[in-house]
Every structure is written in structure tokens, then in C-alpha cells.
């Protein structure tokens, strides 16, 4: 199973793990000047979800592994609302990115209800096991030139990832681990229940930071890798959208 990334072709996904093609939605802010830019990756394992931003339906029936690219939003603070198509349960979260920021939102969980808090009212809707991770593209001090963020979307099992040089990372359920100071050509091996999945990530210069989300697929481990949002990826997404119209 191989994925090749570059600054022009952002992602080529492998069909046999059920991944969808890159999706874009530029109509949401067609006539407004964006304050921030972000992409969304759906790593939710329970089924399709409707994705709303500030109560506007941006992407209906998004399935696991789908990417919504190059959203420029007119406000740096907005509400994300996810509606599970199977249970009709909801997850709401206010996101504040800051003006001019570039970010990636990764969705994980399964919409299973959590125990109610002691101070909850009887008619309060249950909190659900669904999470919206906000990942800024900014490198932290000491992180080096290339970073791969490994996101475990599984709700009950850790995922172990090993690099060719022997470095190993174990990602707890629904958590994120950053692998930093990496080469631009990277071979990884992800393990779940003693079954291995190979990832080959190769980039052209200048190399970008990458996020990889793992999720259950066909009884095993599926994944989606993507370059994190930058002005260059936004331009490439716009060119791809224009070419497909």
C-alpha cells in the first residue's frame, strides 16, 4: 500500500481501502474575503456525517477518509457541527484559528454517548465520543524541518508505527503523536492486531508537513495521508477544482 505526496499532486489514494477522492467546496466563501484557511479530514469510524460550519451545511454525508480541501472562512472563529447520519447525534465545537492562520481539522470518534455529567439536566443531549482536532501548520521550536502527525482514529485500540531507521511511535486511541525532523522520503509500517500496513511518503522540495489519520476499514486498518494546509496547497487545490469543472 503506497502513497506518494508532492507539492503539486497532494494525494493519490489507494482504492482497495475504500478511500474517496479529494473533495472541495469553494462556494461557501465565494464572495467574501477569508480570514483563515483550513481543510477537514473525516476520520470518524461510525459512518457518514453531515458537516456544518456556522449552521451552514458544507458537506453532506461525508464518509470516513474523505478530505474537504481549501476552505477559506470569513471569520477566524466559527462553530463546527457534526451530525451522525445513523443515530442523528450531534457534536458541536467552537474553533478559533486566528486571522491569517492555516490549519487542518481532523474528525475522530464514533458518536457513542458518554455518561452524563453530574450537573447535567435531564433534557440535556448526551455528550458523544467524537472529537475535532485542530492542527496548526506552524512548527514548534525544536520540531525540525519536516513533521508527520500520526492520528489514531480508532476508539479502542492503539496503533504502532515504525520507521525504516527503527524509530517507533505508539498512538493511543483517539490521540495524536508528532514524528519530527524526518526525511522527505519516508517508509512507515503501521501495526494493528499483529497486521501490518505499509506507508510510503515521498515529497518533492520544498517538503511539507503531513498528517496521517488511521481508522478501521474492511476489518483492518485504513489510513489517509495529506499535506497540511499552506498557501501552496490552497493554490494547488484551486487549480485542481478549476481543471475538474
**Whole-prediction pTM:** 0.80
DSSP-assigned letters across all residues of the chain: ------SSS-----GGGTPPPPEE--GGGTTS--SEEEEEEE--SSS-EEEEETTEEEEEEE-TT-EEEEEEES-SEEEEEEEETTT--EEEEEEE--TT-EEEEEEEEEEEEPPPPTT--TTSPPPEEEEEEEEESPPPTT--S-EEEEEE--SS--EEEEETTS-EEEE-TT-EEEEES--SEEEEEEEETTEEEEEEEE-PSSP--EEEEEEEETTEEEEEEEEPP-HHHHHHHHHHHHHH-
**Residue 6 covered by a domain:** no
Q: Return the C-alpha cell found at 164.
A: 525504516
Whether cis (ω within 30° of 0) applies to the bond prior to 206 is: yes
**Residue 171 covered by a domain:** yes
Q: Count structural domains, the chain.
A: 1
**Residue 156 covered by a domain:** yes
**Residue 4 covered by a domain:** no
**Residue 9 covered by a domain:** no
Residue-wise pLDDT tens for the chain (245 aa)?
333 343 323 333 332 222 333 344 444 444 578 888 899 999 999 889 999 999 999 999 999 999 988 788 999 999 999 999 999 999 999 999 877 788 899 999 999 998 887 787 888 788 899 999 998 776 555 555 567 899 999 999 999 999 888 889 999 999 999 888 777 788 889 999 888 999 888 776 666 788 999 999 888 899 998 887 766 666 666 666 556 65
**Residue 139 covered by a domain:** yes
**Residue 1 covered by a domain:** no
Q: What does the chain come to in residues?
A: 245
**What domain range is 134 assigned to?**
15-114+123-244
**Residue 178 covered by a domain:** yes
Amino acid at each position: 500500500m503506497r502513497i506518494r505526496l508532492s507539492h503539486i499532486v497532494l494525494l493519490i489514494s489507494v482504492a482497495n481501502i475504500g478511500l474517496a477522492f479529494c473533495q472541495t467546496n469553494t462556494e461557501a466563501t465565494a464572495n467574501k474575503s477569508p480570514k483563515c484557511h483550513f481543510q477537514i479530514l473525516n476520520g470518524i469510524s461510525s459512518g457518514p456525517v453531515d458537516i456544518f460550519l456556522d449552521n451552514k451545511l458544507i458537506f453532506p454525508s461525508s464518509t470516513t477518509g474523505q478530505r474537504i480541501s481549501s476552505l477559506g472562512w470569513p471569520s477566524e472563529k466559527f462553530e463546527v457541527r457534526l451530525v451522525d447520519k445513523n443515530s442523528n447525534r450531534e457534536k458541536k465545537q467552537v474553533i478559533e484559528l486566528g486571522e491569517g492562520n492555516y490549519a487542518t481539522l481532523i474528525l475522530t470518534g464514533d458518536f457513542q454517548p458518554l455518561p452524563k455529567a453530574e450537573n447535567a439536566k435531564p433534557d440535556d443531549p448526551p455528550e458523544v465520543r467524537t472529537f475535532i482536532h485542530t492542527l496548526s501548520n506552524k512548527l514548534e521550536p525544536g520540531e525540525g524541518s519536516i513533521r508527520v502527525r500520526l492520528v489514531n482514529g480508532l476508539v479502542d485500540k492503539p496503533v504502532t508505527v515504525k520507521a525504516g531507521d527503527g524509530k517507533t511511535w505508539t498512538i493511543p486511541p483517539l490521540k495524536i503523536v508528532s514524528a519530527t525532523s524526518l526525511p522527505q522520503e519516508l517508509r512507515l509500517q503501521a501495526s494493528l492486531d499483529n497486521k501490518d500496513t505499509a506507508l510510503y511518503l515521498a515529497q518533492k522540495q520544498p517538503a511539507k508537513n503531513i498528517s496521517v489519520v488511521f481508522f478501521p476499514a474492511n476489518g483492518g486498518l485504513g489510513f489517509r495521508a495529506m499535506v497540511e494546509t499552506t498557501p501552496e496547497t490552497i493554490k494547488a487545490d484551486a487549480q485542481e477544482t478549476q481543471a475538474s469543472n
